[in-house]
Amino acid sequence: MKNALFSFLLCLVVAQSISAQTPTFTRPAKFDDVPVYRLQLVFSTANVEDAGSDDNVFVQLNSTMKPYYLDYGIDDRERNKKNLYDIVDPSVRTIKDIQHLNITKSGNDGWAVSRVEIRVNGFVIFAKDLGNSNWIDGNNGHQPTLNFTSSQLRNGGRWNFTTSPNIHTPPLTISKKDLSSMVEGFVGNYIRYIPNEDVHWGSTSGVNTLWGPAVEAIYRNRQTLTFDLDLQVARTGPNPELDIDFDLVVSCTNGKVQISVENAKANISFLSKFNVAKMKLDLSNYLNRTFNVPVCNAHFNSDGSLSFL
């Protein structure tokens, strides 16, 4: 996990003129050259018995992408439910970096997937209905993977400017809900790579390690949004709580917008392998991309949204 947490969090809005006037954007000649400001995968679980799964699921979108785990602080992948996951990975900068979609599930708790979507910058560029009998599983004659090739993605009828005419234009405001989803998508993947520890989102079963939503964002001032993450560590006996807090700070240096992670801390006395400083650095590296902009008006609104107007 190096060099780019939510590249798209900045790209999503900062890669545009931050003046009070509505900026204009030049559409690339090729659809594949459109910058990816925000990447989301949407999965619908079938409405059949035992369709849901609690097993780990990861995706890969190109040959250089490490397994990216889909894990939000909810009971996801449940029967007849739709789940949207923000994918925050430095290997996907433009649409051409989406070379395939490989979905892999561990374990033998089968998952019946009825629909798959890829969304870029808010537009659905690939969608496939699979019915109620498409199982991803490690037994009962099923396969633990579901793969879509580059040709399948690009020949699905949506990979073009005709169906997504303004896909190259990012919004000028990110809601607090969307910011929280980006953080949740990043952290859900990040915790899978903590060495020698089994870290999960908090829960209310057994010893309570969940105090409200798993990811909470609180407006502090025009430059600061504070995040509170409720996680837990799997141990023999009651799972100890892992609480992580940090500030998302927007600032301006020499006319350039900068978003960074500050004041990261966690109750880690029991967790020898968790390095708070490294997490802060990794988060900052993802966020800390700067762009040449003519005016530096980026700020948080009182509702927690990030505005560039």
Q: Of 115, 98, 112, whose CA–CA distance to 43 is shortest?
A: 115
- Provide mean pLDDT across the span 97-108: 96
Q: Which CATH superfamily is domain 31-154 in?
A: PLAT/LH2 domain (2.60.60.20)
Residue 1 has pLDDT above 70, yes or no: no
Non-local CB neighbours of 248 within 8 Å, separated by 6+ positions: 179, 183, 217, 224, 225, 226, 227, 259, 260, 261, 287
Of 19-33, 80-94, 232-246, minimum mean pLDDT range: 19-33
Contact predicate 65/107, CB 8 Å: no
Residue 270 has pLDDT above 80, yes or no: no
- Which amino acid is located at 61 in the chain? L
The segment with the largest mean pLDDT, out of 149-158, 176-185, 258-267, is 149-158
- Provide mean pLDDT across the span 156-163: 96
Of 196 and 145, the one with more pLDDT: 145
Q: Of 192, 202, 182, 179, whose CA–CA distance to 266 is shortest?
A: 202
pLDDT band at 101 (very low <50, low <70, confident <90, very high): very high
- Provide mean pLDDT across the span 212-232: 95
Of 25-29, 31-35, 223-227, 302-306, minimum mean pLDDT range: 25-29
Asked whether the CA dihedral 8, 105, 276, 205 is positive or negative, the reply is positive
Residue 8 has pLDDT above 50, yes or no: no
Residue 236 has pLDDT above 50, yes or no: yes
- Provide mean pLDDT across the span 243-255: 83
Of 292 and 84, the one with more pLDDT: 84
pLDDT in tens, 38-97: 899 999 999 999 999 999 999 999 999 999 999 999 989 999 999 999 998 888 989 999
Of 261 and 180, the one with more pLDDT: 180
What pLDDT is recorded for position 90? 82
What pLDDT is recorded for position 302? 97
127, burial (CB in 10 Å: exposed 0-12, middle 13-18, buried 19+) = middle
What pLDDT is recorded for position 68? 96
% of the chain exceeding 70 in pLDDT = 83
Instruction: Supply the pTM of this predicted model.
Output: 0.86
- Provide mean pLDDT across the span 29-44: 94
**Mean pLDDT, all residues of the chain:** 83
Non-local CB neighbours of 263 within 8 Å, separated by 6+ positions: 245, 246, 247
